[in-house]
Amino acid sequence: MGTPEVRRKDLKMINGYPMVYAFALNWERMEEFQGRPDDIVISTFPKSGTTWISEIVDMVLNDGDTEKCKRDVITTKIPMLELYEPEHNISGIEFLKTTPSPRVIKTHLPTDLLPKSLWENKCKMIYMARNAKDVTVSYYHFDLMNNLHPVPCTWEEYVLKFLDGNVPYGSWFNHVKTWWEKKKDHPLLFLYYEDLKQNPKEEIKKVASFLGKTLDEKTLDKIIHHTSFEMMKDNPMVNYTHLPSSMMDHSKSPFMRKGTIGDWKNYFTVAQNEIFDAVYEKEMSGTTLKFCTEIQSCCCKFLSDY
Ligand code: A3P
């Protein structure tokens, strides 16, 4: 049998969640995956700053040593658990098998698709959340450049698909709410993109403390500089330009696109915003989880300590 065609295929359902077609192949591998007690899991809904927090975690674990952090590309240093691309024989699980402990594992999986052994082993987990409107804009642009995603649609159609949870990994609402709940009974650090953007030092200190590290001011400043959007955008080890263009086509939209809070205002029409707000209010009622969608009046900082 030849290599299955995985580019621009429709999403495939896995236990009720729409999944990137390629990742859904041989799903048994995910159920069989064995976590180790010292694994560190970085989880996010896609486009919430996964790459950013990943590079921060690597810098924290390496005491701010930029040379050590340039030892390999981000996808090898911090493999993505569910990644599978048969054409180039790229598999997150295969990478992880040969990764020495302590491994840092990236995933976008919702809580109930995450391999059980990672919960059972009480692995430390860092969840980074970003406001839904900026995620929608970022995810729309990602669809344009990521050939493992279905055929892109118009922005108008995309907003409705996002609200319906008809995007890879399903509903943003379900994702953030269920991961937030996990905080209650699992070692999980819940961070916000918006907090990290506005107060990187405080947030990086939280990461360090969660990982059992104490970093001096100079090291913290070095980490902030190395992981700023401007630096990461031009760093070929983290900006995803190393992947084959058959997977990601940066000429359609760069992976490191804008890295700001509130870009949604450049895309949402008044009508789209009203529809979005109505669904948001319904979906988020009954949760203590709060987000900010603009730079001023940011409320999530206070809630992230909840
Ligand atoms: P935009 O498309 O809004 O620019 P992920 O890594 O989860 O796929 O998220 C990608 C988003 O995070 C993109 O958002 C990208 O630009 C942004 N990003 C990546 N590195 C960043 C950094 N150092 N600071 C701020 N945003 C960053």
How far CA 274 is from CA of 132, 133, 141, in Å, comes to 14, 12, 22
State if residue 141 touches ligand 1 by the CB under 6 angstroms criterion: yes
Q: Does some domain include residue 20?
A: yes
Q: Does some domain include residue 180?
A: yes
Check if 175 is active-site.
no
Q: Are strands 90-91 and 84-85 parallel, antiparallel or unpaired?
A: antiparallel
Would you place residue 2 in the very low, low, confident or very high pLDDT band (cuts 50, 70, 90)?
A: confident
**Which residues, at least 6 apart from 135, have a Cβ–Cβ distance to it below 8 Å?**
45, 46, 47, 48, 172
CATH of the domain at 259: 3.40.50.300
pLDDT at 250: 98
Residue 306 has pLDDT above 70, yes or no: no
State if residue 227 touches ligand 1 by the CB under 6 angstroms criterion: yes
Q: For residue 91, what are the β-bridge partners?
A: 84
pLDDT at 3: 85
Cα 235 to middle of ligand 1, angstroms: 13
Q: For residue 124, what are the β-bridge partners?
A: 40
State if residue 256 touches ligand 1 by the CB under 6 angstroms criterion: yes
State if residue 229 touches ligand 1 by the CB under 6 angstroms criterion: yes
Would you place residue 297 in the very low, low, confident or very high pLDDT band (cuts 50, 70, 90)?
A: low
Which of 42, 50, 51, 227 most suits a substitution to test ligand 1, by most atoms within 8 Å of the C-beta? Answer: 51
Q: Does some domain include residue 5?
A: no
Query: In 10 A of CB 32, how many CB atoms?
Result: 10
pLDDT at 1: 60
**Scanning the structure block, which residue is given the tokens 């070095």?**
222
The three-point CA angle 172-155-195 to 5° equals 45
**What percent helix, strand, coil does the chain show, rounded to 5?**
45, 10, 45
Which pLDDT tens digit goes with each residue over 73-113? 999 999 999 999 998 889 999 999 999 999 999 999 999 99
Which of 42, 43, 52, 235 most suits a substitution to test ligand 1, by most atoms within 8 Å of the C-beta? Answer: 52
Q: Does some domain include residue 3?
A: no
Would you place residue 278 in the very low, low, confident or very high pLDDT band (cuts 50, 70, 90)?
A: very high
Count: domains in the chain: 1
Would you place residue 296 in the very low, low, confident or very high pLDDT band (cuts 50, 70, 90)?
A: low
Q: Higher model confidence: residue 296 or residue 135? A: 135
Q: Which residue range is the domain that position 228 belongs to?
A: 12-299
Q: Does some domain include residue 4?
A: no
Stated pTM of the model: 0.96
High-pLDDT (> 90) share of the chain, %: 92
Q: Does some domain include residue 201?
A: yes
Cα 124 to middle of ligand 1, angstroms: 23
Q: Does some domain include residue 81?
A: yes
Which pLDDT tens digit goes with each residue over 124-160? 999 999 999 999 999 999 999 999 999 999 999 999 9
pLDDT at 298: 52
Residue 301 has pLDDT above 70, yes or no: no
Q: Does some domain include residue 305?
A: no
Would you place residue 302 in the very low, low, confident or very high pLDDT band (cuts 50, 70, 90)?
A: very low
Residue 122 has pLDDT above 50, yes or no: yes
State if residue 293 touches ligand 1 by the CB under 6 angstroms criterion: no
Peptide bond just before 102 cis, omega within 30 deg: yes
